[in-house]
Structures are given as C-alpha cells and as structure tokens.
Amino acid sequence: MSWLKRNTPAGNHSVRGVNYSTSPLLASKTPPWRSRLLVMLVGVGFVALAGRALYVQVIESDFFQKKGEERYASTVQLPASRGRIVDRNGQILAISVNAPTISMNPQQFKASDDQKRALVSLLRMPLKEFNAKLSDGGAYTVLRRQIDDGVAQQIRALKVKGLTVEPGYIRRYPENEAAAHVVGFTDIEDRGQEGVELTFQRQLQGHGGSRGVVKDRLGRVVEELGEPVDPRDGRDVQLTIDSKVQALAYQRIRDAVQQHKAKAGSVVVLDAQTGEILALANYPSYLPGERRNLTGAQLRNRAITDVFEPGSTVKPFIASLVLEKGLVRPTTVMDTHPFKVGPLLVNDGSHGHDSMTMAQVIQKSSNVGTVKLAQKLENREMGEMLASLGFGAKPQIGFPGAATGRLRPWKTWKPVEKATMSYGYGLSASLLQIARAYTAIARDGELAPLTLIKGEEALPGVRVFEPETARTMRELLRGTVSADGTAPLAQPLGYSAGGKTGTAEKQEGRGYNSDKHRAWFTGIAPIDNPRVVVAVMVDEPSGVYFGGLVAAPVFKTVVEQTLRTMGVQPDLEIKAPVLTAKPATAPAKPVAVAQLNDASPHKARN
C-alpha cells in the first residue's frame, strides 16, 4: 500500500488503481443524435403500449372480454316445448314429451369398464361404434338423440366424466295412423314436415331459452352467470277434427279397402251446419312417429290432394238449378230414350227406361235425363253455378297440398262437353270439394265455408240455391237410398239420409281403363235437419266396383256412429230385426239397382 501511494501523482484520485481520465472510451464524445434516438425509441414504445392498452381496454373491450369469458364461461341452450295439437274436444293429437340427447367430450371421457359396459347397454349401441366415436378426438360428439327419459336418468346416475345429458323433446301422436294425414309429423330437429305440423310451424315451435354458466376443466357447471332467459313454449293448435269420428272413419275406409282389395280410399266428414271438418281419413296411412321406408302413396292426403272426375255426384246440382228456374217439377215426365249429342250417344245402358219423372232421374241416376235437364240451361248459368259450388277453386283451409281441380270456362264449352259435364265428366275435383258442394243442399242453398281450426273466424257462406230448392233436392236424394234407388245399402239405421252414388272408369292418358274404377258416395243426414255431410271414395276396388256396393256401406256406418257421437237423436223408427232363413247368395235386386247408377258413362262417350 505504501508503494501505491508513492507512485500515485498528487491530486490524481483513482479507485482501485484505475485511471479514468486516461480511458479511451470515456475520453471520446457521444454524438447528440444517439441520445435523441434512444429517447425517441423509448417514447415510441411508450405510445405503442398506451395505444394497445387503449385498444384492448376501451375500443375492443367487449371482444376481448368475450374471448376471455369463452375460456371459462359458456351458454347452455334451454329448448322450448313444441305446442300441442288437440281435437275439438281437447283430446291430444300431438304432444312433445321429454327425450334427452346423450353427448360426450371424448377428450375428457373417463369411465371404468363397468360404467362403459352399462352405458353401451343403455344406449343400445354396439361397442365398436361407441369406441369409434370415442377415438374421434374431437371435443363434442352425439351418442344418441331423443332417448327415453327413464333411460336418460339411468345414464345420469352412472356419473361418467365427460358425458352430458342434454334436455330435449320427442313428438308423440296418440291417434297414430288414424290422424296421420291431418296432423303430419316433425323431423329430428322438431320442425314440421307435413300436415298441421308444417302449416302451423311458427305457432307450434316456440322459442328456446339460455343460461350462462362457468364450467371447470372437466366441463362441470360450477357457477351461473347473469339472469337466465326462460324458454317460451309453443302455442297449442286446436282443430275442428273430432278424434272419435276421425278414428271410426279411418277404420271403416281401411276395412273397405282391404275387403275389396282396393288401391286406396278416403272419407270426409263435415259438420253440415258450420262447415267444420270433423274427419279427413285416408288409407293407406303411416305411423307419424316411425317414418322409415315411407312411400308417397302413404304420405298423400288423398281426400284433398287427389282430383278425379266426380261423375254422377254432380247430377243433383244440375237438377237443382233446373228446379230453381221452374223449368221442371219433380213429377215432370221426361223421355229417356238414348239420343245423340253430336258424335256422343247418351244412354243409360241395359238398365235404361223409356221415360222417367224428374225425381226418378235422380233416384236411378239417369244420364239421359240429366243431359236433357242440362240442355234446358244456358252455358253461363250452368258454369257459374258449378263455380259458385267451389269447383275449379282451391279450398281455403290453410292446408298444404290442397288441390284446385279443373273447371273449364263456360264460354269454351261445346254441346258434347256440356252434356258430359252434366253427369260429371270433363271436370275434376277432390273429395273435399265434392263434400263441400253438398253443404249447399244441406244448408238450404248456402255453401258452407270450410274450417279446420277451431274458433277461427269463418268466412260468410255463399248463396247458391233458394232454400225451397235445396229442401226439395234433399227429398229427391232420399229416394237414392231407398229400395228402388241406386244405394239402398247407404241407409243408416235410425236416421234419414240421402245422397248420390258414383262409379267411373279411371282416366289414363287420353283414354279410360275399363279395368280400373273409382267408387264413391256422398250424402247428407238426417235429411230434414242435416247435421253431417259424408263423402266416401274407394280407388280401384277389385271384383265388385259399383259405388252403391263399395262406398255406400261405408257411408252408412260412418253416419250412424258420427251422429251418435254428436248426440243426435234418431229420426226414424228402429224396427226390431226379424230372423228369417235366407239363401246363401245375396239377393239380386240391390246389385241390379246399384248397377243402374253406373250405366257406364264412359261407354256413352264412344
């Protein structure tokens, strides 16, 4: 230390023997721009950090808040229950029941062998399929949709990690095939696909709710966020359909189709006083809850979608207009020999008569007599009358697929076309349109507006005939179901009735197939105070195909049971049956009488 002091110049202070005044680094001057650059860079960095903070905390705070919440918060959807479909009496036609969906997170799935076996068994899923879903590696996969609520409770009791029981619903249809074509069905997402389910989708579907939750890393809910949004269930739809009438109409048309080995059949039942639709039954049908391998033939609501030439069911309307104009009376005798209209030979076949009263023309369904009645009318009068009955116009019932039918403008009619149209050929209509047309006779000349929704404000009726004309025609139609008429098998037990048969070869291409027929009967009961209009159609019956033998018995049983269901008292004396021995074969007279109605109108075209 003494040596260091001796060798250190006076006044020159140093630390640890380092001479700073002679250091080349400290001796050089620092350029001013360098310090300014450094300060500027620090300032720019500060501004950038401040701008970023402003962007994150103020400008895009919602976005970053949302991204942050997504790491720990999620939204659970709360499905709404679809509204019910009920009949006029409140009986359920369609309802949603609890049917949860089972899903899992494969990344978080943990289960013991026993839990896994129990889960696969409850899901009714092959183990190979389950393992394939488990190995997907995704964060979410559905194992089974719309399972029974009881099964879902058993799965929940297993307490398997990564497994979720999601709320859901499935649609049930208590009336099954009987009301399938009216009610329709929904898809797996609960959206209406057919029938009322499709037409009133917006009203039935409701609106789902939601609730915010905080989940842990295993997907378990540990906290709720904010106020939940409750789901709003869909609104109910009440139909004018009577489920009892619908069921019995379906049973009767099903039995008739099977008995006669027919292709299909339909029944329409209307409330004659209000125009409310009590039944729309079709066969073949389907189960709305089981829609695999369905065909178009099963899905079609034939009563409103299929159109055909109505044949002899049009004759009462022609006769009514002639009566209204005072051109004939029921007792007026008419020449009913075969005659020609242009190239068309009009005849009643082998069951024709030389002369008939106007009442007998309706009772025995004479083509010759009907054409002669039509010739007393102007084209305009006849055309406007048919149009006012709803022919050529789409029924306003708010139902998908309702057919319009065809009615050519009266200005284009030729004499031969007018003649064939008078007995129902050259125009087309659905069974629903034909049934509605008969409400004009049942309601004392006023055509009823059709209604499918209960409580819906109905449109006013349309006056077609005077009340006296309609009452007279009802009396003439009563003769059709008498022993001398074309449909004695249509007479209900205990109730008066009247109506009209029809049978026709089916049109194929530009001609008619003599091996294929449609048979139908449309009628009113009771005849003095009508309560129902019932229309029946059987498509392509085998063997016997006349309307008086195939469709009339269906009308009889449907009317009997419908009027009893409605509480209508019988207006005819019910006689006790007399037991007598009868031959094995059916009596010939009803067959011959029924055939008289079907004096092959198409052969009259040739």
Measured CA angle at 395 (ends 389, 396), to 5 deg: 120
Which tokens go with 313? 């069911």
Cα separation, 473 vs 408, in Å, equals: 26
Angstrom distances, CA of residue 275 to CA of 86, 104, 358, 442, 451: 19, 53, 29, 10, 6
Lookup: tokens for 396: 């306003």
Residue of 243, 266, 285, 312 marked catalytic: 312
- Cβ atoms of 249 and 426 within 8 Å: the answer is no
In 557-573, which positions are buried (b, 16+ CB within 10 angstroms) versus exposed (e)?
bbbbbbbeeeebeeeee
Question: Do 322 and 377 touch, CB atoms closer than 8 A?
Answer: yes
CA 21 to chain centre: 103
DSSP codes of every residue in 219-253: S-EEEEEEEEE--BPPPPEEBS--HHHHHHHHHHH
Which token pair is 314?
């049009």
- The β-bridge relationship of strands 85-86 and 237-238 is parallel
Is the peptide bond preceding residue 526 cis, with omega within 30 degrees of 0? yes
First to last CA, the chain: 148
With H, G, I as helix, E, B as strand and everything else as coil, classify residue 296: helix
Residue 118: strand, helix, or coil: helix
Give the span between the Cα atoms of 194 and 181, in whole angstroms.
8
Q: Report the C-alpha gap between 517 and 435 in whole angstroms.
A: 20
Q: What six digits make up the tokens of 270?
A: 């209307």
Answer for the pair 219, 211: CB distance below 8 angstroms, yes or no. no
Contact 408, 417 (CB under 8 A): yes
Report how far residue 231's alpha carbon sits from residue 299's, in angstroms, rounded to the nearest whole number: 32
SS3 of 8-54: CCCCCCCECCECHHHCHHHHCCCCHHHHHHHHHHHHHHHHHHHHHHH
Task: Reduce the secondary structure of 128-143 to three states and give it as a string.
Answer: HHHHHHHCCCCCCEEE
How many other CB atoms are found less than 10 A from the CB of residue 24? 6
As given in the structure block, the two tokens for residue 467 are 């009340």
CB atoms within 10 A of CB 9: 7
Annotation marks residue 312 as catalytic: yes
Distance CA 320, CA 305 (A): 28
Residues marked as catalytic: 312
